[in-house]
Amino acid sequence: MTQELGGFAALELHPNIVAAVVATGYEEPSAIQQQSIPIILAGHDMIGQAQTGTGKTAAFALPILHRIDPSKREPQALILAPTRELALQVATAFETYAKQMPGVTVVAVYGGAPMGPQLKAIRNGAQIVVATPGRLCDHLRRDEKVLATVNHLVLDEADEMLKLGFMDDLEVIFKAMPETRQTVLFSATLPQSIRAIAERHLRDPKHVKIQTKTQTVTAIEQAHLLVHADQKTSAVLSLLEVEDFDALIMFVRTKQATLDLASALEARGYKAAALNGDIAQNQRERVIDSLKDGRLDIVVATDVAARGLDVPRITHVFNVDMPYDPESYVHRIGRTGRAGREGRALLLVTPRERRMLQVIERVTGQKVAEVRLPDAQAVLDARIKKLTNSLAPLVADAEATHGDLLDRLTADIGCTPRALAAALLRKATNGQALTLAAIEKERPLVPNSAPRERTGERSGDRPERSSADRERRAPMPLAEGRARCRTALGARDGIAAKNLLGAILNEGGLAREAIGRIQVRDSFSLVELPEDGLERLLTKLKDTRVAGKQLKLRRYRED
C-alpha cells in the first residue's frame, strides 16, 4: 500500500472498503470521518455534530459496512434519513463504498413508490436498509418483524427529521429493534429535543463535535459563481479570460478531476499541470518549483496534494469543487495573499451546494459576493487588452529593427502597411476574429442566468457522475443513410451545436435537412451527416475552423 492510502488505511477498515473509497477519489478522511469511524467500529453509540458537507455519510457508512456480515442475508443496519432524496443519496453512497464487497445489498425505502418491491428486497436479504421514517412505519404495520435482526441504527440529519414531525414514527421504530443494537445519531444542531432522544435511546454515547471556528481571511477578496456541475470547465475557461492572474491554483475533489481539468487547460494553451496524491513526491516538487519560477501558471490540485504549498506568485485560488468543510476552504484560499500581498478567491457553487456557501460565510465571518460569468464584451475587452499589453512594449524600437523589412514586404506584396499589419495580427491571434460577434458565437454558456434549484437535484448529482461517465453514454441509433462523424472540439473548447451547424452549412454547402443530430460533449462532438458523398464533404471541410480551432471532422465508428 502506498503512503497516500495512509489516511483511510490507518482506520482499520476492511481493505475492500478502503479500496472502494480510494477508487472514488477521496484521499484523506475528513475530520468527522477521522473521529467517528474508530468509535463506530468499536461498537459504541455515538452523537456526531457537524455541518452539512463535512462528509457525515462516509463517517457512518464505512464502519457500518465493516461491521455487517455479508454472508447473512437479513437486514443488519438501518439508516433513517428525513427525505426521499437524502435516503436515495445515502443508499447510493453505500452502494459506492460497497462496490468491492460481494454479497452486500442495499435497499432504499421511501414513500411515493410501491411498497411491495421494497418489502421483497428486504426479505430477499438486503443487509442495509436506508429509509424515511414514515414509509418504514408503514412497513412495520404490515410486518412488525422486519427490523428484528437490525443491530445498527443510524439517524442521519436527526434535527431535520424532528422538524419534519417524525418524532412519533421514530419511537415506533426504536421499539421494533433489538435493545442491544448500536445507535449512532448525526445532526448539524443539537436542540433539546434531540438530546432527549439521545438520553432515552442511546447507551453511554461518545460525542464527536467538529468545531467550525471563525477564521479571518481579510487580505483575500472572495467571490462565488453559481454554475451547474457539468458547466464547470467552461465556466473556468471563461473566468480565466478576464481574471488578471499571475499564478493560480485550482482545487478539485478527485485525482481524476485534477487530470481532466489540467488537460482541458493545456489544450487551451495555458501552462497547467495536475497535482494529486498519485504523483510521486519528487515529481510534485518539480511541479511546485515550476509554478514558482513561471514555467507553469496554473496547478490543479486536490487538498492533500496542495498541503503546505507556499508560492508567493499565486494571485488567485479557484475552488472548482466545493471543499468539504469550511476549514479546508480557509486553508485553500490561504494559498493566495501570501506575504501580505492581495489575493483573490473564486468559488464555484452548484445549486445543491448553496447551504455550504452559507456555512462558509458564517465560519469566515465574511460575505462571499456573487459574481456572474463574464459576458462577451468583457471577454473581448480582456483579449484586446492582453494583445495590447503584449505588443505595446515592442512598438518603441520595432521600426528600427523591422522598418526596412516592412517597406520591402509592402512593396513585394503590393499592399498598404495597414493591410500587412492586419495580416500579422491575424497570425498573432491564430485567426481569431476579435469581434463581439465572433466571441458570442464561440461561447457555450449564457451569462447572467444562474442555475435554479431543480427538484430531485440533490439525489441526481451525488455521487457526482464524472464527465467521463457521461461521455461513455451510448449514442442514439443512426437514421438510414446517415453517417456519424466526430470532432475533437467540444464544450470545453467553447463549442455549441449552433457553431458546428453554422460552419458545416456554410463551408459544406449542405441544406439544413441534410444534417442530423449534433451532440456536443465536453471534449468532443458528434454530428450526423449524409452517407452519400461523405468523403467529398469531409475533404471540403478539411480546413474549416470553429471558434478559432480546426474542426478536423472524421467518420466515427463505434465498435
Catalog residues that contact Mg ion under the rule CB under 5 A.
Answer: 56
Q: Which of 166/324 has CB closer to ligand ADP?
A: 324
- Residue 54's binding partner, choosing from Mg ion, ligand ADP, none, with beta-carbon cut-off 5 to 8 A by kind? ligand ADP
- Residue 251's binding partner, choosing from ligand ADP, Mg ion, none, with beta-carbon cut-off 5 to 8 A by kind? none
CA 172 to CA 311: how far, in whole Å? 57
User: Judged by CB under 6 A, does residue 56 bind ligand ADP?
Assistant: yes
Distance from chain centroid for Cα 300: 13
| Residue the block writes with cell 451545436 | 497
Report whether 161 contacts 134 (CB < 8 A): no
The span of 50-58, 62-70, 305-313, 526-534 binding ligand ADP (CB under 6 A) equals 50-58
User: Judged by CB under 6 A, does residue 60 bind ligand ADP?
Assistant: no
Q: Which of 56/443 has CB closer to Mg ion?
A: 56
Q: What is the 3-state secondary structure (H, E, C) of 322-385?
A: CCCCHHHHHHHHCCCCHHHCCEEEEEEECHHHHHHHHHHHHHHCCCCEECCCCCHHHHHHHHHH
Which residues are bridge partners to 527 per DSSP? 485, 518
Compute the least distance from the CB of residue 230 to ligand ADP, in Å. Answer: 15
- Residue 128's binding partner, choosing from ligand ADP, Mg ion, none, with beta-carbon cut-off 5 to 8 A by kind? none
Q: How is residue 11 annotated by DSSP?
A: T
Binding test (CB under 6 A) with ligand ADP, winner from 20, 29, 127, 528: 29
How many amino acids of this chain bind ligand ADP (CB under 6 A)?
A: 17
| Residue the block writes with cell 464527536 | 208
The span of 55-63, 292-300, 472-480, 512-520 binding ligand ADP (CB under 6 A) equals 55-63
Compute the least distance from the CB of residue 108 to ligand ADP, in Å. Answer: 15
User: Judged by CB under 6 A, does residue 252 bind ligand ADP?
Assistant: no
Q: Which of 32/239 has CB closer to Mg ion?
A: 32
Q: Is the dihedral of CA 152, 157, 158, 160 positive or negative?
A: negative
Compute the least distance from the CB of residue 101 to Mg ion, in Å. Answer: 22
- Residue 302's binding partner, choosing from Mg ion, ligand ADP, none, with beta-carbon cut-off 5 to 8 A by kind? none
Q: Is the dihedral of CA 133, 62, 350, 308 positive or negative?
A: positive
Q: How is residue 442 annotated by DSSP?
A: H
Q: Which of 79/541 has CB closer to ligand ADP?
A: 79
Region 285-344 residues binding ligand ADP, contact defined as CB under 6 A: 324
Phi and psi dihedrals of 313, rounded to 5?
-65, -15
Q: What is the CA radius of gyration of the chain?
A: 28
Report whether 472 contacts 522 (CB < 8 A): no
Which residues are bridge partners to 482 per DSSP? 530
Q: At 343, is the secondary structure helix, strand, or coil?
A: strand
> What is the bridge-based pairing of β-strands 525-530 and 518-520?
antiparallel
Give 410's contacts (C-beta < 8 A, 6+ positions apart): 416, 417, 420
- Residue 30's binding partner, choosing from Mg ion, ligand ADP, none, with beta-carbon cut-off 5 to 8 A by kind? ligand ADP
User: Judged by CB under 6 A, does residue 58 bind ligand ADP?
Assistant: yes
User: Judged by CB under 6 A, does residue 463 bind ligand ADP?
Assistant: yes
User: Judged by CB under 6 A, does residue 53 bind ligand ADP?
Assistant: yes
- Residue 60's binding partner, choosing from Mg ion, ligand ADP, none, with beta-carbon cut-off 5 to 8 A by kind? none
The span of 45-53, 126-134, 289-297, 524-532 binding ligand ADP (CB under 6 A) equals 45-53
Q: Which of 50/485 has CB closer to ligand ADP?
A: 50
CA 140 to CA 324: how far, in whole Å? 36
Distance from chain centroid for Cα 99: 21
CA 320 to CA 93: how far, in whole Å? 22
Report whether 293 contacts 335 (CB < 8 A): no
Q: At 370, is the secondary structure helix, strand, or coil?
A: strand
Residue 117: asked if its preceding bond is cis (omega within 30°), the reply is no
Q: Which of 172/304 has CB closer to ligand ADP?
A: 304
- Here's the x/- map for ligand ADP, 9-28, by CB under 6 A: it reads as -----------------x-x
- Residue 63's binding partner, choosing from Mg ion, ligand ADP, none, with beta-carbon cut-off 5 to 8 A by kind? none
Compute the least distance from the CB of residue 512 to ligand ADP, in Å. Answer: 43
CA 392 to CA 294: how far, in whole Å? 22
User: Judged by CB under 6 A, does residue 30 bind ligand ADP?
Assistant: yes
Q: Which of 30/258 has CB closer to Mg ion?
A: 30
Q: What is the 3-state secondary structure (H, E, C) of 94-125?
A: HHHHCCCCCCCCEEEECCCCCHHHHHHHHHCC
Compute the least distance from the CB of residue 328 to ligand ADP, in Å. Answer: 10
DSSP assignments along 168-217, one per residue: HHHHHHHHTS-TT-EEEEEES---HHHHHHHHHH-SS-EEEE--------
- Here's the x/- map for ligand ADP, 75-94, by CB under 6 A: it reads as --------------------
User: Judged by CB under 6 A, does residue 55 bind ligand ADP?
Assistant: yes
User: Judged by CB under 6 A, does residue 48 bind ligand ADP?
Assistant: no
CA atoms within 13 A on the CB side of 389: 7
Binding test (CB under 6 A) with ligand ADP, winner from 5, 6, 16, 52: 52
Compute the least distance from the CB of residue 161 to ligand ADP, in Å. Answer: 14
- Residue 327's binding partner, choosing from ligand ADP, Mg ion, none, with beta-carbon cut-off 5 to 8 A by kind? none
Residues that bind ligand ADP (CB under 6 A): 26, 28-30, 33, 50, 52-58, 253, 324, 462-463
